[in-house]
Amino acid sequence: MEPIKVFTGKTAVMDRKNVDTDQIIPKQFLKRIERSGFGQFLFFNWRFDEEGNDRPDFELNQEQNKGASILIAGENFGCGSSREHAPWALLDYGFNIVIAPSFADIFRNNCMKNGIVPIVLTEEQVAELMKKGVESGYELTIDLPNQKVYDQSGFEAEFEFHPYWKEMLVNGWDEISITEQYEEQIKSYEQQKMPISSI
Amino acid sequence: MGKSIIEKIWERHIVAAEENKPDLLYIDLQFIHEVTSPQAFEGLRLKGRKVRRPDRTFATMDHNVPTINRYFIQDEIAQKQLSALEQNCKEFGIRLADLDSPEQGIVHVIGPELGLTQPGMTIVCGDSHTSTHGAFGSIAFGIGTSEVEHVLATQTLWQTKPKTLKLEVNGKLGKGVNAKDVILYIISKFGVDFGTGYIIEYCGEVFENMSMEERMTVCNMSIEGGARAGLVAPDETTFSYIKGRKYAPKGEEFERAVEDWKSLASDEDAVYDREIVLDGSAIPPMVSWGTNPGMASGVDAMIPRESDGTFDPVELKNALQYMGLKEGQAITDIEVQHVFIGSCTNSRIEDLRQAASMLEGQKVHQGVRAMVVPGSQNVKKQAEEEGLDQIFKAAGFEWRDSGCSMCLGMNPDGVPAGEHCASTSNRNFEGRQGAGARTHLVSPAMAVAAAITGKFVDIRTWEAPTVGAH
Ligand code: SF4
């Protein structure tokens, strides 16, 4: 996982609520056994028509959103299934940051395991960013260590982030190697506390 | 201060609790299926890691498997995924219910059926409907593939303690109203994200009176309300369901286990972060009309109007456009061309018994294609022993092998664009049952009535056509 500290990038606005993982990456693309190459299928049904051409009214097909690495979205983003293919597709397409008023729990976790930073701002702040974001070339900076989002024209907001996940992301650590340092505790748990029943 | 069952189970599983860190939680049981596991096993291989507790891991094939000619998998990539699972299970020593196994089925159906799912456990699976297993009084939740890999390697997960929500439904359910209606009603009332950040404890008379199968239907859809997990405290209904199942504790061990399970129930004075109390007698048979499970109404209602202000106008407009419906339209006016009885929400033997009981002497409406997909090969076998398959077939239903099937249509089963399907599954997202497919979530009873009449009817007052009449 690539470490993320201070990140500046172009924004794309997706003013929709309850965007579910079935839309982010439709099921027909879940059959691959690799982690890579999902970006081409991101938002497939919204992005392309039956002939495979771009749908001009879909947000990410619009000129001002091309090349964006920060997605600004509505509440409850990523609801639905646990498919990690959703963050894989977002990352592969080029998004490193998603900002929304709220996220579905599993999706949020999946993002953090893959080096995508899910940032929760208030509805008002997100609304303001959506307004600004429709300007072509609008850029934001995310300072993860200091938990701040700001732009060049006076917007500044702080966000909450669990210190544990922050440390993971900022250092780009492999979580399993961290947990392996707890081997003694896990062993002693298994010896003393395992449930009685075998399965 | 007393503790809730959620806190009790959580505390039992803490391996390490340090300041500024989530808790390191021990996981008692992990289920694996073909879609969300290949990358996890690949990760293990890359780092030379082993599966820590193959004895606490159980795998099955469900999402991709065809429900007719199951060995003839035309889709090469699907076949690759199934072979990968087989290979991974062999390499890492994990039990697998493969296509040949009489135990094969949808992961959330077979876990309880085999007695693997037990009270007080922490259970995970790379699938959001893992919440189903909470029906047994366990903390069960869906995880992503990275977490699957983490559990395979360490049998633990770093988890921040969720908030607790007590959801009490009292009173008696009306005639024709069942578990599916209860959970759809709750989600339609409080929205698709009311449970985000919470584990729900379902309690009160309505859940106490439910069978294990009905409790599973409710817990299954916890995630549709945003909650990663939902549970019901274990009681005699739970214990007698578990007793005698293949992997359940036996004899004296079972007695001891029951004693322990009894101690899990929430203390009288337990405190929750949020509490909701509802009256069960007010719940109607439900039908979803939109593109998420919160967009559902009683069958006797009208589709909401923008002017009601209950839905975001853009969301409502998009949903109705996709569904080909109009605001203010009566739900009972919606015609269906497909009926699907199946999925981890409603494909257990009790669901099939209930559906079949309404079909005796009836025929599927002309122009309706109806299908039953049992949740597991065991369910299928049991149903055939009881002759249910004959009833379904005589009425004009297709009778299939087990799998996820038309719940998400990763296998060849699906609904064509623009057509409506009365489905006992759990998600009505755009394209879920096929590109352009229009899904209506309903109970098995409502699905059967729709199969007979070709549209939604209020089963509280509806009378099936007289047998033999034309
Ligand atoms: S039946 Fe549907 S919801 Fe259940 S595990 Fe299969 S695909 Fe997921």
Count the neighbouring beta carbons within 10 Å of the beta carbon of residue B248. 20
Q: What is the pLDDT of residues B296-312, one digit of tens each?
A: 999 999 999 999 999 99
For residue B289, the model assigns a pLDDT of 98
What gap in Å lies between CA B15 and CA B98, rounded to an integer? 33
| B421 annotated binding-site participant | no
Instruction: Identify all chain B residues contacting A199, using CB atoms and an 8 Å cutoff.
Output: 29, 55-56, 58, 115-116, 118, 247
Backbone φ and ψ of B397, nearest 5°: -80, 150
Ordered structural domains, chain A, with CATH: 6-192 (3.20.19.10)
For residue B468, the model assigns a pLDDT of 55
Q: Which helix (H) or strand (E) holds A158?
A: strand A156-158
What gap in Å lies between CA B10 and CA B14, rounded to an integer? 7
> What's the DSSP call for residue B304?
P
> At B358, which amino acid appears?
M
Distance to chain A for B174, nearest Cα, Å: 30
**In the predicted model, what is the mean pLDDT of residues B444-466?**
95
Distance to chain B for A28, nearest Cα, Å: 6
**Is residue B320 a contact partner of residue B211, using CB atoms and an 8 Å limit?**
no
For ligand 1, whether the C-beta of B404 sits within 6 Å is: yes
Residue with the two structure tokens 């299970």 = B89
Whether the CB of B276 is below 8 Å from some CB of chain A: the reply is no
| A196–B256 CB contact, under 8 Å | yes
**Is residue B303 a contact partner of residue B328, using CB atoms and an 8 Å limit?**
yes
For residue B467, the model assigns a pLDDT of 63
Could you tell which of B344, B405, B432 is best to mutate to test the pocket of ligand 1, judged by most ligand atoms within 8 Å of the CB?
B344
What gap in Å lies between CA A20 and CA B76, rounded to an integer? 27
Interface of B with A in 65-104 (CB under 8 A): 75, 77-78, 80-81, 84
Helix (H, G, I), strand (E, B) or coil at A125: helix
pLDDT value at B47 more than 50: yes
For residue A158, the model assigns a pLDDT of 98
> At A11, which amino acid appears?
T
**Is residue B199 a contact partner of residue B228, using CB atoms and an 8 Å limit?**
yes
Q: In Å, how far are A172, B138, B200, B227 from B168, measured between CA atoms?
A: 43, 18, 10, 16
The proportion of chain B whose per-residue pLDDT surpasses 70, expressed as a percent, equals 99
pLDDT value at B278 more than 80: yes
Averaged confidence pLDDT in chain A: 94
| B219 annotated binding-site participant | no
Token pair recorded at residue B276:
């909701």
Residue with the two structure tokens 């033999």 = B468
Q: Are strands B163-170 and B29-32 parallel, antiparallel or unpaired?
A: unpaired
Q: Are strands B163-170 and B198-203 parallel, antiparallel or unpaired?
A: parallel
For ligand 1, whether the C-beta of B338 sits within 6 Å is: no
Q: What is the pLDDT of residues B312-368, one digit of tens each?
A: 999 999 999 999 999 999 999 999 999 999 999 999 999 999 999 999 999 999 999
Pick from B222, B209, B214, B124: nearest CA to B426: B222
Q: What is the pLDDT of residues A15-55, one digit of tens each?
A: 999 999 999 999 989 988 889 999 999 999 999 998 999 99
Pick from B79, B44, B6: nearest CA to B273: B6
For residue B408, the model assigns a pLDDT of 87
Interface test with B, best of A13, A24, A77, A84 (most B CBs within 10 A): A84
Q: What's A180-196 look like in SS3?
A: HCCHHHHHHHHHHCCCC
What gap in Å lies between CA B410 and CA A28, rounded to an integer? 6
Q: Which of A13-27, B68-82, B373-387, B395-409 has the lowest mean pLDDT?
A: B68-82
pLDDT value at B97 more than 60: yes
Pick from B175, B361, B403: nearest CA to B284: B175
Per the model's pLDDT, the better-predicted residue between A25 and B76 turns out to be A25
Q: What is the pLDDT of residues B397-437, one digit of tens each?
A: 999 999 999 998 887 788 999 999 999 999 999 999 999 99
Between the two ends of chain A, the Cα-to-Cα distance in Å is 35
Question: Would the pTM count as exceeding 0.80?
Answer: yes
Interface of A with B in 111-130 (CB under 8 A): 113-114
> What's the DSSP call for residue A136?
T
For residue A196, the model assigns a pLDDT of 62
Ligand 1: residue whose CA is nearest its atom 2: B407
| B344 annotated binding-site participant | yes
pLDDT tier at A195, thresholds 50, 70, 90: low
Ordered structural domains, chain B, with CATH: 5-275 (3.30.499.10), 285-453 (3.30.499.10)
Side-chain half-sphere of A83: how many Cα atoms within 13 Å? Answer: 30
Q: What is the pLDDT of residues B208-267, one digit of tens each?
A: 999 999 999 999 999 999 999 999 999 999 999 999 999 999 999 999 999 999 999 999
Distance to chain A for B62, nearest Cα, Å: 13
| B154–A84 CB contact, under 8 Å | no
For residue B470, the model assigns a pLDDT of 46
For chain A, the residue count is 199
Residue of A nearest to B30 (CA): A199
pLDDT value at B449 more than 60: yes
How many inter-chain contacts (A to B, CB under 8 Å) are there?
Answer: 185
Could you tell which of B32, B81, B106, B125 is best to mutate to test the pocket of ligand 1, judged by most ligand atoms within 8 Å of the CB?
B106
Q: Which of A172-176, B110-114, B167-171, B299-303 has the lowest mean pLDDT?
A: A172-176
**Is residue B3 a contact partner of residue B13, using CB atoms and an 8 Å limit?**
no
Instruction: Identify all chain A residues contacting B318, using CB atoms and an 8 Å cutoff.
Output: 16
Token pair recorded at residue B27:
């996981």
What's chain B's Rg over C-alpha atoms? 22
Q: Which of B78, B146, B408 sits opposite A84 (nearest CB)?
A: B146
List B339's β-bridge partners, or say none.
B370, B422
**Is residue B287 a contact partner of residue B459, using CB atoms and an 8 Å limit?**
no
**In the predicted model, what is the mean pLDDT of residues A116-133?**
97
Instruction: Identify all chain A residues contacting B256, using CB atoms and an 8 Å cutoff.
Output: 196
Whether the CB of B427 is below 8 Å from some CB of chain A: the reply is yes
